[in-house]
Structure 1
Amino acid sequence: MLASPVPCLLPALPAALPLPDLGAADWAMLIAAAALAGIAKTALPGAATIAVALCAAVLPAKESTGAMLLMLMTGDLLAVWAYRRDADLAMLRRLVPAVVTGVAAGAIFLALASNDSTRRVIGALLLALIAITLWQRRRAVGSPSPAVEQSPTAPRAPGLSATAASPAARLIYGSLAGFTTMVANAGGPVTSMYFLACRYPVKAFLGTTAWFFFAVNLVKLPFSVSIGLVNPTTVALAVAVAPVVVLAALAGRRLAQRMEQRIFEPVVIALTIISALPLLV
């Protein structure tokens, strides 16, 4: 018997998809995580890591990883539809080898690691990501701005920064994004900094991010099923909160349409740093 009436407000589920025994506070945190997962997909990418932290506070580390993956994939469907004309697909193709390598390494790690080890590695990785974020932004302060004024709907900026154009940068950012998203659904801080280095305007940033994680999460799904992260319980949780993800994603789309570039970039940077901090504990 469930410890809270909250699930009664959620969609009815088949008997083969049992919901875990959670209290009202736990359900409130999962619903908040679902809302943040939705808005992260269409407006504020850094919010996804806050969602990961909330989910990890309620569920065991590996189970929370599986549940969050399914919530984020629900948001992916809305995001790729909303930004279907805005992604820089050429950049995404160049990132594929590094990302697949990182995802495979993360799957191997999860198959071997305990919950405690997973938490420690997540914390260490995100501590490193904060340092990378600060270092990247400090370098960017002195770099020249693009000479051509861009339309908010432009598919990409007029030219990549030296950092973004480097094959070494693609290898580092891509493999680290693949690993962190496989281990903890926490690839957002890496990709946010990389796509900001690409100098994308708002819609191009969100479109490229949306298509990146849609593809990455599809790659992650069979790995996650094979090592037990996606199972009947995590599917049940994801189905129960799916309406929340969808509504939040639609609200995020409306927010992004009104957000100016000068506001968007600082917000992304702040969320990238702040959202990483809860996962260090």
Structure 2
Amino acid sequence: MTSLLPDLAPAAWALLAVAALLVGVSKTAIPGINTLSIAVFAAVLPARASTGALLILLIVGDLFALLSYRRHADWATLLRLVPAVVVGLALGAVFLALADDSWVRRVIGVILLLIIAFTVWRRSAKRLRTAEEESVRAAAFARVGYGSLGGFTTMVANAGGPVMSMYFLAARFPVKAFLGTAAWFFAVLNLAKLPISAGLGLVTPATLMLDLLLVPGVIGGAVLGRWIAGRIKQQAFEWAVILCTTLGAVYLLVS
């Protein structure tokens, strides 16, 4: 079975272990930090192998997020997102089968930076409104835009977290409502992606063996994240999400 493992330098294994830890932290504390894990996996492993390996770890992290925050989700928000996300997933699956990996990463990086810039502008201009205050047309536009982009980016690069983090951030969810809504959203979405990814050859016995070694890091990160979430202030949480998302987007652009 060890023959299935990639031949990596000790430093590369250490980076993967840290990335697995960040997956756990992202699921129970700071969602945007997960983009750093995407960057590490893409740098250390071949592109297709990194996507499949990371998906399994994300699903493990989803389980811990649900255990921690399953009762805090905003189900009305989740149900309204479903149609747009399904369209985004379908487009992402087609795009993943046809497009060049480096080009896809750059497109996603540009999308993320535009979303971050728009979110920061709205916050600085004090134009953020609650869901009740937004017009029906604006709310529907946001759902379609963020939902379809979230489905698309999570399918092609496991990078839907930053997109949806910006959407949940704009909705002004408290920390636990944010994490609970995100937990259910990605738990369902990642499970739906699993058979598609397997069909595309992204999930293999080799990636499963690699994940088996990295799962303890995800568990440790989830426990650490739970500790962080119980102590972090709302404003610090929001800016941490924005900062981590920005770093990940920049990496996708320059990698």
Task: Report which stretch shifted further, 18-27 or 134-143.
Answer: 134-143
| Shift in alpha-carbon separation, 1:162–1:134, aligned structure 2, 3 A | farther
Distance verdict in 2 for CA 1:69–1:145, change over 3 Å: closer
**Structure 1 residue corresponding to 2:193, chosen from 206, 220, 227:** 220
The partner residue of 2:124 within 131, 141, 146 is: 141
Alignment of 1:191-202 (within 5 A): 191-202=164-175
* TM-align CA RMSD: 1.9
Cα separation, partners in 2 of 1:207 and 1:17, compared to 1, 3 Å: farther
Query: Which of 144, 148, 151 is the matching residue for 1:175?
Result: 148
Q: Which moved more, 1:18-27 or 1:49-58?
A: 18-27
- 2:25 equivalent to 1:39: yes
User: Does 1 or 2 have the higher relative contact order (CA < 8 Å, sep 6+)?
Assistant: 2
Amino acid at match of 2:220: L
Name the CA shift for 1:17/1:198 in 2 (closer, same or farther; >3 Å).
farther
Equivalent residue for 2:202?
A: 229
What runs of 5+ residues in structure 1 fail to find an aligned partner? 1-14, 147-156
User: Match for 1:61 among 39, 44, 47?
Assistant: 47
Partner of 1:84, secondary structure, is: helix
Letter in structure 2 aligned against 1:74:
V
Segments of structure 2 that go 5 or more residues without pairing to the other structure are none
Match of 2:106 in 1: 123
* Preserved contact between residue 59 and residue 190 of structure 2 (Cα < 8 Å): yes
Answer yes or no: is the 8 Å Cα contact 1:161–1:199 preserved in 2: no
Question: Equivalent residues in 2 for 1:2-81 (5 A)?
Answer: 15=1, 18-81=4-67
Structure 1's consecutive aligned runs of 4 or more residues displaced over 3 angstroms after TM superposition are 143-146, 157-165
Distance 1:258 1:26 in 2: 32
Contact 2:131-2:139 within 8 A present in 1 as well:
no
**Aligned counterpart, 1:248:** 221
Contact 1:164 1:194 in 2 (8 A): no
Do the aligned partners of residues 144 and 103 (structure 1) sit closer, same or farther apart at CA in structure 2, a change above 3 Å counting? closer
- How far apart in 2 are the matches of 1:225 and 1:158? 37
**What is the count of residue pairs matched by the alignment?**
254
User: Conserved in 1, the CA contact under 8 Å of 2:131 and 2:171?
Assistant: no
The alpha-carbon distance between structure 1 residues 62 and 119, as it changes in their structure 2 partners (threshold 3 A), is: same
Counterpart residue type for residue 235 of structure 1: L
Which residue of the partner structure matches residue 161 of structure 2?
188
**Aligned equivalent of 2:182:** 209
Greater C-alpha Rg: 1
* Residues 5 and 210, structure 2, Cα contact 8 Å, conserved in 1: yes
Contact 2:154–2:160 (CA under 8 A) maintained in structure 1: yes
1:141 deviates by 2.7
Contact 1:79–1:210 (8 Å) recurs in 2:
yes
Q: Secondary structure at the match of 1:182?
A: helix
Contact 1:73 1:214 in 2 (8 A): yes
Query: Which whole-Å deviations, capped at 9, do the CAs of 1:81-129 have from their partners, x for residues lacking one?
Result: 100111111111111111111111111122223xxx1221111221221
- Match of 1:73, SS state, is helix
Q: CA deviation at 1:143?
A: 3.5
Please give the TM-score of this superposition, normalised by the length of structure 1: 0.85
